[in-house]
């Protein structure tokens, strides 16, 4: 029986068989089976048991994909889900003049105001946005110094409700005092133990650390030790602007990469976000360690921190730093930014960066074929309504990616074989209800942020007083100033 096509998007049509969970056949579409190198073919795809399987289409459910392009689900290699509730947030302080002031006056106020409700709402809203943009895996870096214990479970459970893959960590930092730094390490340890025990099938853990300039020697060593013991990597911001390098030189007479290498942070499991201000010598240190790097082009532009030397970094993937999780937009911006400096840059470059992000996530999940569409690969894929005006082939797929594809084309999303978006709507949650709740929670969160002054932490000059290990859920730390 042919698949039944509907202009607004087809329903799954049943064909024979009575098994409880029959295979799904995606019929009649073009398939971008690989991003690096690009490989396009016209073929039917079969999903069974959460994976792509070889062979002809068996009896089962058929989904018409004619007039569509099927692509691997995207991986966002660095994000901050809690920023989902910052969109349009009022700001009544003096405008920041530099990146450090952006942290002090915006993000380090927002993270201190987070509680369980706002952590959950931001994870649901940010995760939903990711799904609808065709992003199937999020590598998140979380901070909520007033609600540390158990916060990663809150995020994992919210993303699990959506059906998203994720790699999560908690940001260890000394800017809120040594007690909270220790609590951050403890939260990473607790969560790594839970993920190792299989508590969240679609989630893995890392050890989070903010950045060299807010980490004492003891806290950095604790992160490295935990990562080594757990067999995990450290996810850390590196040289996002000049503050990180200046602090490393002032405190330790060394560069940021050298400090991290000496502490045992840099290895093939590590993930370094930004690396904007790394020079060639420090980039060589990163490359020799095998560490992965997440380039966040739009965030770098927004914060005016400079241009990353992307050609100097080997294992380069793409993230958004929390602007959103739209990897079509991010990959296009990164390509155009590179092209501005190098007119010879190929549109295959951003596709290779996305493939690198998938390889990083695949390693975390023990799934080396994540990010590809072929027999045995996890069935994480996206159906785009893309009937191109010009021929599409392996030879020109990169041009279609850079100049034709966008998140507005997303029709269906599959993760681990489950159709979590159907005809542009999530299948596991009520999108209207999720967004209505996020608006309600955001209004309350914004009021708590407004009650806080700029964060007092200044690199190399002061350390914030220790406000205790963890503040009561929903409140600020005992004795913490609101002025």
Asked if the structure places residue 139 within a domain, the reply is yes
Instruction: Check whether 478 has a pLDDT greater than 70.
Output: no
**∠ CA 275-263-237 to the nearest 5 degrees?**
25
Does residue 156 contact residue 168 with C-beta atoms inside 8 Å?
yes
d(CA 96, CA 243): 15
Within a domain: residue 3?
A: no
Q: Identify the H or E element spanning 154.
A: helix 151-162
List, for residues 423-446, the tens digit of each pLDDT value.
Answer: 999 999 999 999 999 999 999 999
Distance CA 248, CA 215 (A): 10
Could you please report the per-residue DSSP string of 426-466? ESSS-HHHHHHHHHHHHHHHHHHHHT------BTTTB----
Tens digits of residue pLDDT in 142-174: 999 999 999 999 999 999 999 999 999 999 999
407 three-class SS:
helix
**Which conformational region is residue 342 in: left (phi greater than 0), alpha (psi within -120 to 50 degrees), or beta?**
beta
What is the residue range of 210's domain?
74-365
* Residue-wise pLDDT tens digits, 35-89: 999 999 999 999 999 999 987 655 668 999 999 999 999 999 999 999 999 999 9
CATH number, domain containing residue 290: 3.20.20.140
Buried b (16+ CB within 10 A) or exposed e, 62-78: bbbbebbbbbbbbbbbb
Asked, for residue 479, whether it belongs to a domain, the answer is no
Q: Within a domain: residue 370?
A: no
Question: Is residue 469 a part of any domain in this protein?
Answer: no
Task: Give the strand pairing for 60-64 and 24-27.
Answer: parallel
Q: Rounded to 5, what percent of the chain is helix, strand, coil? A: 40, 20, 40
As for how many domains the chain has, the answer is: 1
Per-residue model confidence (pLDDT) at position 21? 66
Residue 403 lies inside a defined structural domain of this protein: no
Alpha helices in 31-90 (DSSP H): none
**Cα separation, 335 vs 239, whole angstroms:** 21
101-136 residue pLDDT tens: 999 999 999 999 999 999 999 999 999 999 999 999
Count of CB atoms situated within 10 Å of the CB of 52: 24
199 located within any domain: yes
Evaluate if residue 463 carries a pLDDT over 90.
no
pTM: 0.92
Percent of the chain with pLDDT over 90: 89
Q: Is residue 207 in a domain?
A: yes
Helix axes 116-132, 151-162, angle to 10 degrees: 30
pLDDT at 54: 87
- Give yes or no for residue 196 having a pLDDT over 70: yes
Mean of per-residue pLDDT scores for the chain: 91
Interior angle at CA 107, CA 105 and CA 238, nearest 5:
110
pLDDT at 481 over 80: no
């Amino acid at each position: 029986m042919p698949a039944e096509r509907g202009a607004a998007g087809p329903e799954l049509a049943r064909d024979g068989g009575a098994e409880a969970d029959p295979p799904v056949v995606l019929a009649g579409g073009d398939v971008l089976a690989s991003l690096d190198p690009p490989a396009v073919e016209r073929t039917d795809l079969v999903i069974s048991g959460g994976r792509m399987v070889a062979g002809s289409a068996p009896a089962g459910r058929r989904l018409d994909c004619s007039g569509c392009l099927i692509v691997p689900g995207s991986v966002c290699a660095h994000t901050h889900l809690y920023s989902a509730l910052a969109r349009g947030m009022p700001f009544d302080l003096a405008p920041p003049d530099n990146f450090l002031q952006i942290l002090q006056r915006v993000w380090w106020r927002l993270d201190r105001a987070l509680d369980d409700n706002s952590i959950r709402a931001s994870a649901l809203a940010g995760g939903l946005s990711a799904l609808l943009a065709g992003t199937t895996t999020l590598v998140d870096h979380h901070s909520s110094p007033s609600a540390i214990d158990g916060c990663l479970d809150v995020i994992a459970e919210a993303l699990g409700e959506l059906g998203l893959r994720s790699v999560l960590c908690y940001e260890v930092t000394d800017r809120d005092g040594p007690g909270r730094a220790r609590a951050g390490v403890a939260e990473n340890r607790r969560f790594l133990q839970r993920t190792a025990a299989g508590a969240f099938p679609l989630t893995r853990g890392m050890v989070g650390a903010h950045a060299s300039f807010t980490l004492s020697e003891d806290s950095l060593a604790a992160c490295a030790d935990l990562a080594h013991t757990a067999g995990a990597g450290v996810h850390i911001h590196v040289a996002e602007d000049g503050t990180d390098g200046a602090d490393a030189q002032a405190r330790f007479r060394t560069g940021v990469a050298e400090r991290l290498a000496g502490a045992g942070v840099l290895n093939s499991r590590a993930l370094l976000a930004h690396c904007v201000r790394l020079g060639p010598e420090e980039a060589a240190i990163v490359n020799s360690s095998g560490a992965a790097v997440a380039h966040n082009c739009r965030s770098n532009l927004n914060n005016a921190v400079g241009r990353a030397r992307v050609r100097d970094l080997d294992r380069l993937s793409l993230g958004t730093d929390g602007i959103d999780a739209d990897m079509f937009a991010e990959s296009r911006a990164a390509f155009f930014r590179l092209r501005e400096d190098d007119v010879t840059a190929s549109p295959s470059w951003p596709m290779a960066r996305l493939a690198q992000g998938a390889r990083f996530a695949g390693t975390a999940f023990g799934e080396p074929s994540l990010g590809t569409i072929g027999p045995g690969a996890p069935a994480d894929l996206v159906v785009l309504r893309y009937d191109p005006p010009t021929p599409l082939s392996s030879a020109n797929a990169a041009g279609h990616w850079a100049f034709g594809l966008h998140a507005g084309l997303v029709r269906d999303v599959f993760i681990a074989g489950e159709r979590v978006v159907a005809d542009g709507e999530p299948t596991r949650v009520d999108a209207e209800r999720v967004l209505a709740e996020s608006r309600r929670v955001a209004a309350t969160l914004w009021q708590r942020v407004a009650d806080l002054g700029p964060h007092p932490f200044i690199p190399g000059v002061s350390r914030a007083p220790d406000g205790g290990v963890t503040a009561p859920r929903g409140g600020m730390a005992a004795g913490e100033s609101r002025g």
